[in-house]
């Protein structure tokens, strides 16, 4: 019978990348809802921080970076659309 340590060493690559996946998914969705983009940015930064501190336990750096890029892009699009909406409303007197 193998010990737990032997099972962990002999098992598959069990690196955690949950935050990176959440960041990517929220970044993809965030183009349509800018509040979700905030979650993408936060999770992306948390994932990169954990990967940097313990690369043997955490992975998904590319996913986290992609989530960050999409999250920031979603925030920028939301900001531009908000400014445009305000400008249109002020022109129409609404």
pLDDT for 35 equals 84
Torsion of CA 59, 71, 32, 36, to 10 degrees: 70
For residue range 23-76, list pLDDT tens digits in order: 999 988 876 667 899 999 999 999 999 999 999 999 999 999 999 999 999 999
Domain of residue 82 covers: 17-92
Prediction pTM value: 0.77
Domain count, the chain: 1
Q: Tell me, what DSSP letter sits at residue 57?
A: T
Q: Are 63 and 21 in contact (CB under 8 A)?
A: yes
Decide if 64 is inside a domain.
Answer: yes
Task: In whole angstroms, give the CA distance from residue 5 to residue 21.
Answer: 27
Cα angle 38-41-47, degrees, rounded to a multiple of 5 = 140
Decide if 7 is inside a domain.
Answer: no
């Amino acid at each position: 019978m193998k010990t737990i340590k032997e099972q962990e060493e002999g098992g598959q690559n069990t690196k955690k990348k949950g935050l990176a996946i959440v960041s990517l998914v929220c970044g993809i969705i965030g183009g349509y809802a800018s509040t979700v983009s905030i979650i993408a940015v936060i999770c992306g930064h948390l994932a990169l921080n954990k990967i940097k501190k313990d690369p043997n336990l955490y992975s998904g750096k590319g996913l986290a970076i992609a989530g960050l890029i999409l999250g920031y892009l979603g925030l920028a699009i939301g900001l531009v659309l908000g400014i445009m909406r305000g400008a249109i409303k002020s022109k129409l007197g609404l």
